[in-house]
Structure 1
Amino acid sequence: MPDTAVRPALETPDLPRLRRARLAKVRAELAQRDLAAILLYDPVNIRYATDSRNMAVWTLHNPVRYALVPLEGPVVVFDFHNCGHLSAGLETVEEVRPATGWYWFGAGPEAGRRVARWADEIAALMHRHGGGNRRLAVDRLDPLGARALEARGLEILDGQEPMEMARHLKTPDEVVAMRHAVAACEAGMAAMRAALRPGMTENELWSILHQVNIARGGEWIETRLLASGPRTNPWFQECGERVIEAGDLVSFDTDLIGPYGMCADISRSFLCGDGRGSAEQRTLYALALEQIETNAALLKPGMTCREFAERSFALPERYRANRYSVIFHGVGLCDEYPACLYLEDFESAGYDALVVPGMTLCLESYVGAEAGGEGVKLEQQLLVTETGLEPLSSFPFEDSLLERWV
């Protein structure tokens, strides 16, 4: 369907400046940990460090491209067959080489020989630019590759921590880029709201968000989290062929990768059809909205995740078993560090982190009774400033589910 929403006037990010700043942040994390280089396979990390992209979803499960970012020396992108031109013009990439694929689909029984060739090339670059430092971080690597690098005298260390720490504070240009992703996402949400009618399937409604995102320069959507009626509880049911009925709640989580590769992670629950929601639907919605608004007013820079978990909105007992997995999480090129869990989950799965200006966060709420019925999903995307939280998402809440409805 055509995108007829009015496009907001948005500042354009300075992409060369954005790229230089990101690469500098990665190298600062390497220096802090005495790492000679980092080898990146995750396409999101490659995008962050270089702004080079190629078939991101496909390369998430086919390791056909990688990048070596040294503390000092040229950044080398190793790209898929005949794809060297994709990094042309990027000031962050000084050399492009053909990748050596040694995963089983691409290499089959030749995997052993190819991994040796691959490891020789990485080790040679480390020897040339590492200044004697053999400490190499990697974000994702199968055992065959790790053993091959270690056999060549390299010390393999975790690359996820330095990349998450580089990514978790946003530059002004990244915030500008994120506003474009949010604008594309909210245009898609508006088109979904306008199209929602009894008789359409969940898949039909969800497809509208994809179309608007792509039309506005977006890239992909990470999940299929849209459900209607009784499928809204418990949460994490993906959309399907269920026909949406009048009076159904339709709850969704966008998980959208929009323009500039930035994530817009916003959730809403709509009421299908005319009229006011039922008393139970309005109760669910009011609790979810209260949780979002209470937590937004509470969260301040300088708080820790544990401190916030201790003080945050407490769900009534009948909804706690079905609580969402986090109270808030970071967001950038995708969901990012940190993740703040509910207090009852902290000891088993949580960790502490400090909330500081420059983070972009998503406050989450899911309210659905353990005994069944429908569920409401709400989520707001925000920027942490020196004084508090600035909303990045402004999509309206559902009047038909609010007490102020007339």
Structure 2
Amino acid sequence: MASEQFIDAAGVNESESHARTLRDVRTYRLARVLEQLKQHECPAILLYDPVNIRYATDTSNMQIWTARNPSRYIMVFSDGRIVAWEFHRCEHVWDGIELSVDMRSAVSWIYFNAGNEAEARAEVWASEIVDVFRAHARGERRLAVDRLDPIGAALLVKSGLTLLDGQAMMEDARAIKSAGELVLIGESLRACEMGIERMRRELRPGMTEQELWAHLHFENIRHGGEWIETRLLASGERTNPWMHECSSRVLQKGELLAFDTDMVGPHGYCSDISRTWTVGDTRPSDEQRKLYELAYSQVHFNMDVLRPGMTFREFSEKAWTIPKPYLKNRYSCVAHGIGMVDEYPAIAHEVDWDSAGYDGRFETGMTLCVESYIGAEGGSQGVKLEQQVVLTEHGCVPLTTCSFETEWL
């Protein structure tokens, strides 16, 4: 009986701790949004991006669908007021959220819902947006917006509002993670690691890429995860160049198998891990070993270089030098931010700096993915590796225990 009481008490304590973490994270994230509004002297932000809505309010409603069909939106004011326009009869998605919200019904003016009445409905929508904004904005005209179709933007401007880049504000807000966020990111990563472990157990010659990929989805959904942003799993010759999505191709013993999870897991946080194995867990060939050693070196060299206070350009210049045979097929960036999805910043390779680079400064509390793809131009195989880390005052600390094939080195 005492043992049962101990277990019950432990369970309650764990549940209470988790509830406190969620409350702390919600408070922290909303404060980050309000801080951005105050820094930009902007009275309010209109959010349509479902990831931004989730960040600001921790509410979620059909995120993939509403990303394609804008039909729920919120306005956050710099004084903390929130007006929410929710999808048809879905106010229940706010249950348990400790926010004082002015709840309204969304006006959808996308063609799917409005047909040839789209412009007329957009005018109704714009009139309400302007009225709500002016009621709280005290004569201000500056409204930040993250995502908005052309008709809507044009109508707000016609009404006298000045639109600011709200997506940039939200990316900056999301860049620095709290201790509570790191706990939630850890929960997402544990679900992802279980999916990876399941893939490893089930991997065998004769199955298709899609059959293998399904095991990651299974564990994600089973543990309360949400979706996977890409289908990046490839085998054999499809590993070079990178960015082939999984197919019905049948796996062959001894060939390379590479994947990139891009998994939006529990609590809406992304787990972004890349690993490369051999099918059948065979001993790698000399070429496979060489590719792997180079990719492993790139990831770990760059993790060792990265420090808070360093500029993005300085990191790009000091990053591992990709050998010439593999330069053309390089990954699209050296590293990128990660949170609820891939986030600011994205660090360009030095060779790409003039066309794709932008500067900034790394800060303690950023969570990042350090990337590598090594595959020779015209080659028949390649290796994809990626490590998810948090940047501390001492440098990069891995957030995942998912192992590398160190015996190949």
TM-score by length of 2: 0.94
Q: State how far apart, in whole Å, the 1-side matches of 2:256 and 2:100 are.
A: 48
Structure 1 contact 269–377 (Cα < 8 Å) conserved? yes
SS at match of 1:188: helix
Q: State how far apart, in whole Å, the 2-side matches of 1:326 and 1:151 are.
A: 39
Q: State how far apart, in whole Å, the 2-side matches of 1:199 and 1:318 are.
A: 32
SS at match of 1:27: helix
**Matching residue of 1:62:** 69
C-alpha distance 93-257 of structure 1, shift in aligned 2 (>3 A):
farther
C-alpha distance 274-37 of structure 1, shift in aligned 2 (>3 A):
closer
Q: State how far apart, in whole Å, the 1-side matches of 2:280 and 2:402 are.
A: 19
1:230 aligns with 2:234: no
Aligned residues: 394
TM-align CA RMSD: 1.4
**Structure 2 stretches lacking a partner, 5+ long:** 1-13
1:286 aligns with 2:285: no
Deviation at 1:89, TM superposition (A): 2.6
Larger % of helix: which? 2
1:200-239 equivalence runs, <5 A: 200-239=207-246
TM-score by length of 1: 0.95
1:88 aligns with 2:95: yes
For 2:21, the aligned partner's letter is D
For 1:333, the aligned partner's letter is M
**Matching residue of 2:368:** 361
The share of aligned pairs that are identical, in percent, is 52
Q: State how far apart, in whole Å, the 2-side matches of 1:110 and 1:102 are.
A: 8
**Matching residue of 2:104:** 97
Structure 2 contact 34–80 (Cα < 8 Å) conserved? no
1:31 aligns with 2:20: no
Structure 1 contact 184–212 (Cα < 8 Å) conserved? yes
**Matching residue of 1:6:** none
Deviation at 1:92, TM superposition (A): 3.3
Q: State how far apart, in whole Å, the 2-side matches of 1:251 and 1:274 are.
A: 13
Deviation at 1:397, TM superposition (A): 1.2
Q: State how far apart, in whole Å, the 1-side matches of 2:273 and 2:99 are.
A: 31
Q: State how far apart, in whole Å, the 2-side matches of 1:47 and 1:253 are.
A: 24
Deviation at 1:70, TM superposition (A): 1.1
For 1:164, the aligned partner's letter is E
For 1:191, the aligned partner's letter is R
Corresponding residue to 1:337 among 315, 340, 344: 344
Corresponding residue to 2:185 among 165, 171, 178: 178
Q: State how far apart, in whole Å, the 2-side matches of 1:276 and 1:187 are.
A: 24
**Matching residue of 2:390:** 383
SS at match of 1:14: helix
**Matching residue of 1:136:** 143
Deviations 1:187-231 (A, max 9, x none): 100110111000000000000000001111111000000000000
| Structure 1 residue ranges, 4+ long, deviating more than 6 angstroms after superposition | none
Q: State how far apart, in whole Å, the 1-side matches of 2:119 and 2:269 are.
A: 37
**Matching residue of 1:4:** none
Corresponding residue to 1:311 among 309, 318, 324: 318
**Matching residue of 1:373:** 380
User: Is the deviation greater in 174-183 or in 90-99?
Assistant: 90-99
**Matching residue of 2:7:** none
Corresponding residue to 1:40 among 34, 47, 69: 47
SS at match of 2:346: strand
Structure 1 contact 262–332 (Cα < 8 Å) conserved? yes
User: Is the deviation greater in 320-329 or in 109-118?
Assistant: 109-118
SS at match of 1:15: helix
